[in-house]
Amino acid sequence: MRQIWDIPGGIHPPENKTQSTGDAIANIPLPAEIVLPLNQHIGAPAIPCVAVGDKVLKGQVVAEAQGLVSAPIHASTSGTISAIEQRFIPHPSGMMSDCIVITPDGEDQWTTLHPVPDYKALDHAELVALIRQAGIAGMGGAGFPTAVKLNPRADRKVHTLILNGTECEPYITADDMLMRERADEVVAGTLLLAHILGTPETILIGIEDNKPEAIAAMQAAVDKHAQQSRGIAIDVVSFPTKYPSGGEKQLIQILTGKEVPSGQIPATIGIVVQNVGTAVATYRAVTFGEPLVSRITTVVGETLKQQRNIEVLIGTPVDHVLTLHGYQAEKKSRLIIGGPMMGFTVEHTNIPVVKTTNCILVPSNEEIPPTQPAQACIRCGMCAEACPANLLPQQLFWYSQAEDTEKLEQHNLFDCIECGACSYVCPSNIPLVQYYRASKGTIRQQELAKKQSDRARQRFEFRQERIAKAEAEKEAKRLARKKAAEEAKKKLAAQAGNEPEKNAATSSAAGSTTPVPKTPEQASTGATDTNQLPKLERALSSAKSREERAQQQLAEAKANGEDARIEPLSARLKQAELKVKEAEEKLKAYQQGENLPSSAVPEKLQQKLSLSPRQKAEKNIETLQKRIATAEEKLAEAEQANASTTDALRQGVEKLNQKLAEAQRELEATAEDGITAEKGAAAVDAPTMSAAEIAIAKAQAKAAAQASMSDDEKNQAQIASLQKRLDKARERLAKAEAENNDNIDAFRIGVEKLEAKLAEAQQPQTTP
């Protein structure tokens, strides 16, 4: 005889199990529709992989698992997917959830199955994968995906496997009848689970002593399989009836004397517990290739003409089950899914049977009277005496009322198994378990909100860091460009002072009439004149292309009768025609020698270069203010005329205002340029430097390195830079051509410009 331990607390409610054990497990006809909720287990809901109108076969996957803690859903009969929509599901809140609805074809035809005659030929990972693909979840009520439970961490050696045949809840006899009629499959499933877990040293099947027929059947099956189990010992252990001995942690304590630490799982102490129904489902999934599409459910209550256990297809509507058992709705007290202790009341009968539905209870008013109103707590302490988890239900009740989540966690609220023993013995009829469930939900929501807040904060901090780094690099490049420009100005000024003397000496020595080199202004103008013709020709070509596109779009709009588009497209065409005319006039003026005097352009450029950053910002703000005033006038006219361009003009005004705000911020930032530059210069000698100062120092070092480069080295660096820019521009052009982008001409002009610059840079340098 194996030693048995006792558990603290516990109660002995009326069992009421004989009503449903008089008949054998039966089958029922197919319903008119099958409703499969996407979340029938603990963890993430499954994702549909079928569409409305699809034909499916029995056992075919209709929703795939999402993540590790999840399970797929299979069609429980053959038929057609008629809907994927929100339906009522078995839940205490009466909520609706996404469901796949199947209209059966009446043939109940299986899909192709893949049985495994010898599961010992497969390794651990393959067996776990088969169980996961079969969609098996704990069938004792919790619904935890079985594949996850059978794959403990490598550092947790499982030495004990316990099969839970206790079924301590009143009225429920599904596991009892399963062990009576299918004991061989229970034992075969036990051996399979043991093989997957690496053959634990101890294998126990725990059954309360109020099930003598089940105990005898299981013992006979164990003896029968003793030879083929190859020395693997299975003990069928009977122990005194006491509620809630079927709780996972309570059963471990009864059979082994060990206690699972608070907040931990049984695998932490090397124990795995599985329900006997789960063992049978696992055995059939591996040996016959059958996914979980049905389960044994107790249908009981005095409002039914027939009370028994049935093997019902997952997704069968409860009202279909009740109708077949002579349901008398006028006599019912309530409809309970599960037992009277841990089950929950639902308002609708049009909910489906799911993987965790072990009982449908419809008692009469005499059988289970309506709940009496709750009274004030009299502090009798009976709830603490009945608690099997050694908690303080009275304290938890007070903290739940006060919404003191910190105190609730300190008093181990999550160790509560929600067995209902405290509510059962409470003389004040306080629904203690409902308070605990609500508090658990609140704490979980707070933890989820905290995780989301932490993730959002981290993303914000990373973004701020990224922006600060980008701004620092931008500032460093700006200072480097500023320094390089100043050095270039000094170099040009020095060359301008030395060139006349050098040319005069050369001319005298050679006795020739060598022309005097141009001044910097003249040189700049000459370069501009050289490149002016191709620029004007490209501008004219681009303008004509835009005109042609506008004409084509306007013609299509008129042909299709799109009146709303005709007016804005006509305006776009008119603007394109003006651009073409302007480009033609500029090109003609250049060809006739009517371009601006060469001295005008350098003077204008010189004025622009001589402006300080603050003056540039002020001039930009002044220009934007003028543009905004003009745009607002046009918007007012369009609004008054109720023109179709009103929305476009309003967006234009908003964009100009955004640009003005940015320009004003830049103006404010120019006052700090001098301070920033001083920081950049002093940062090199500082023992610690910020990211901005480091970037500035790097840019200054790069500028200094370029200053020391020879002309050939600078030319090679320029060629390499132009080649990279040209490659990127060609990629953008190819993408624009593939997508038929409106900016193809602009991309093509950009490529041509870079090709011309690269060709010019690659020409041999001549020395005068």
Q: What is the dihedral of CA 594, 599, 601, 603, to 10 degrees?
A: -150
The confidence score (pLDDT) of residue 514 equals 40
From 347, 355, 282, select the one nearest 45 (Cα to Cα). Answer: 355
* Residue of 474 and 715 predicted with greater confidence: 474
Which positions ≥6 away from 319 have C-beta within 8 Å? 349, 350
**Average pLDDT for 321-335:** 92
pLDDT in tens, 158-195: 999 999 999 999 999 999 999 999 999 999 999 999 99
Using the predicted structure, report yes or no on whether residue 25 has a pLDDT greater than 90: yes
Residue with tokens 């028994």: 308
The predicted pLDDT at position 498 comes to 64
More confident: 319 or 94: 319
pLDDT band at 484 (very low <50, low <70, confident <90, very high): confident
- Asked if the model's pLDDT at residue 501 lies above 70, the reply is no
Q: pTM here?
A: 0.62
Q: Which residues have CB under 8 Å from 484's CB, separation 6+? A: 703, 706, 707
Is the pLDDT at 607 greater than 90, yes or no? no
Within the chain, how many helices (H) and strands (E) appear? 22, 17
Cα 632 from Cα 240, distance rounded (Å): 88
How does pLDDT run across 231-261, given as a tens digit for each residue?
Answer: 688 999 999 999 999 999 999 999 999 999 9
Per cent of the chain over pLDDT 70 is: 85
Task: Provide the pLDDT for residue 492.
Answer: 78
pLDDT at 28 over 90: yes
The pLDDT score that the predictor gives to residue 678 is: 43
With 90 as the cut, is the pLDDT of residue 311 above it?
yes
Residue that wins the pLDDT comparison between 150 and 756: 150
Q: Which amino acid makes up residue 29? A: P
Q: What is the mean pLDDT of residues 209-225?
A: 93
Report the pLDDT value the prediction gives residue 690, as an integer from 0 to 100.
Answer: 46
Average pLDDT over residues 302-329: 95
The string of DSSP codes covering 634-688 is: HHHHHHHHT-TTHHHHHHHHHHHHHHHHHHHHHHHHHTTHHHHHHHHHHGGGSSS
Look at residue 517 in the predicted model and tell me its pLDDT: 41
CA separation, residue 31 to residues 205, 312, 322 (Å) = 35, 10, 12
How high is the pLDDT of residue 672?
A: 52
What does pLDDT average to over the chain?
A: 84
Binned at pLDDT 50, 70 and 90, residue 133 comes out as: very high
Q: How many CB atoms lie within 10 A of CB 294?
A: 21
H-only helix segments in 183-314: 183-196, 212-224, 248-256, 276-287
pLDDT value at residue 582: 86
Is pLDDT above 90 for 210? yes
Q: Which two tokens stand for residue 721?
A: 């830079």
Q: For the residues 428-456, what does the mean pLDDT come to?
A: 91
Of the listed ranges 431-440, 479-488, 533-542, the least confidently predicted one is: 533-542
Q: Which residue has the higher pLDDT, 604 or 257?
A: 257
For residue 666, what pLDDT band results from cuts at 50, 70 and 90? Answer: confident
Distance CA 202, CA 405 (A): 40
The whole-number pLDDT of residue 485 equals: 83
Highest mean pLDDT among 140-144, 162-166, 478-482, 736-740: 162-166
pLDDT in tens, 68-92: 888 999 999 999 999 999 999 998 8
Q: Are 540 and 583 in contact (CB under 8 A)?
A: yes
pLDDT at 511: 45
Task: Average the pLDDT over 644-655 and give the result.
Answer: 78
